[in-house]
DNA sequence: CGAGTGATCAGCT
DNA sequence: GCTGATCACTCGA
């Protein structure tokens, strides 16, 4: 049997990434990605951001600009932006034709390349689960920069590409809730994470859970 | 808990 | 062309 090449994985993902971002986000949970320099991670937490006039928390909400242009381009490309002046936040463009949206990668488990990640993150002794737990940490762990925004995920030298074909998790393994750090659009349960996974960036209250009594 | 970091962009001139 | 408010956060007390 001939082993699949990276490009085969990318092709297999194209169909999924042509779905609305909220659906693509669901499929991305549990996906394995590999960076240009061989770091392999498994996604455990993502957020969907919608298109023009649809999702006020989305960078695409007010239309196309130089920064968010990748969101308006074809699915399966990266959108990287700087947050809080410090963090490189990594998104995978995912939308149906004629729209503009993306999935923010918020947290992952590091499966390979740990020494390089520890050196980049300047975290020689941090618990393993924290190495890429949070969007800024994940961007730094993968070594992505603003220059990678707009890059494709298909070439063998892509900054980030898929290491496995789509294999959606069982619905019961996925928890959902409001997205983190936004002021508008809180009513949408577009943050998705793997229930109980230690690398999730914070222990959240799922939408489905009973409210805690003060 | 508070400080910090810098690209971005709406609103102005 | 300029500018000040904003921002999908992290780190070190």
Which tens digit of pLDDT belongs to each residue from A130-188?
999 999 999 999 999 999 999 999 999 999 999 999 999 999 999 999 998 888 888 88
Please give the protein residue whose CA is closest to the C1' of the nucleotide B6.
Answer: A85
Burial of A56 (0-12, 13-18, 19+ CB in 10 A): middle
Question: CA torsion, points A66, A71, A75, A80, in degrees to nearest 10?
Answer: 80
Cβ of residue A128 lies below 7 Å from strand C: no
In Å, what is the separation between the CA of A87 and the C1' of B6?
A: 10
| pLDDT band for position A205 (cuts 50, 70, 90) | low
- Name every residue whose Cβ is closer than 8 Å to that of residue A17 and which is 6 or more positions away in sequence: A24, A75, A76, A92, A93, A94
Partner residues linked to A161 by β-bridges = A34
Do A120 and A102 touch, CB atoms closer than 8 A? no
Structure token digits, residue A119: 């050196």
Distance, in Å, from the CA atom of A92 to the CA atom of A76, rounded to the nearest integer, reads 6
Cβ of residue A68 lies below 7 Å from strand B: yes
Distance, in Å, from the CA atom of A29 to the CA atom of A39, rounded to the nearest integer, reads 17
Do A145 and A80 touch, CB atoms closer than 8 A? yes
| DSSP for residue A144 | -
Do A79 and A99 touch, CB atoms closer than 8 A? no
In Å, what is the separation between the CA of A8 and the C1' of C11?
A: 40
pLDDT of residue A208: 46
Residues A92-124 pLDDT 10s: 999 999 899 999 999 999 999 999 999 999 998
For the whole prediction, is pTM greater than 0.85? Answer: yes
Partner residues linked to A109 by β-bridges = A42
> Across residues A34-41, what is the average pLDDT?
95
Q: Which helix (H) or strand (E) holds A118?
A: helix A114-121
Q: Has residue A207 got a pLDDT over 90?
A: no
Cβ of residue A62 lies below 7 Å from strand B: yes
């Amino acid at each position: 049997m001939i082993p699949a090449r990276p490009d085969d994985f990318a092709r297999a993902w194209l169909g999924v990434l042509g779905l609305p971002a909220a659906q693509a986000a669901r499929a991305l949970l549990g996906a394995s990605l590999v960076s240009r320099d061989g770091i392999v991670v498994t996604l455990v937490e993502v957020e969907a951001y919608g298109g023009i006039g649809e999702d006020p928390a989305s960078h695409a909400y007010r239309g196309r600009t130089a920064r968010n242009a990748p969101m308006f381009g074809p699915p399966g490309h990266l959108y990287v932006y700087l947050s809080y002046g410090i963090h490189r936040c990594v998104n995978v463009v995912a939308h149906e034709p004629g729209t503009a949206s993306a999935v923010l990668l918020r947290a992952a488990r590091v499966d390979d390349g740990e020494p390089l990640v520890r050196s980049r993150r300047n975290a020689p002794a941090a618990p393993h689960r924290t190495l890429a737990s949070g969007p800024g940490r994940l961007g730094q762990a993968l070594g992505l920069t603003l220059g990678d925004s707009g890059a494709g995920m298909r070439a063998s030298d892509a900054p980030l590409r898929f290491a496995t074909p789509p294999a959606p998790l069982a619905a019961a393994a996925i928890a959902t809730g409001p997205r983190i750090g936004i002021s508008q659009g809180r009513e949408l349960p577009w943050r998705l994470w793997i229930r109980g996974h230690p690398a999730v960036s914070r222990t959240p209250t799922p939408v489905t859970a009973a409210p805690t009594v003060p």
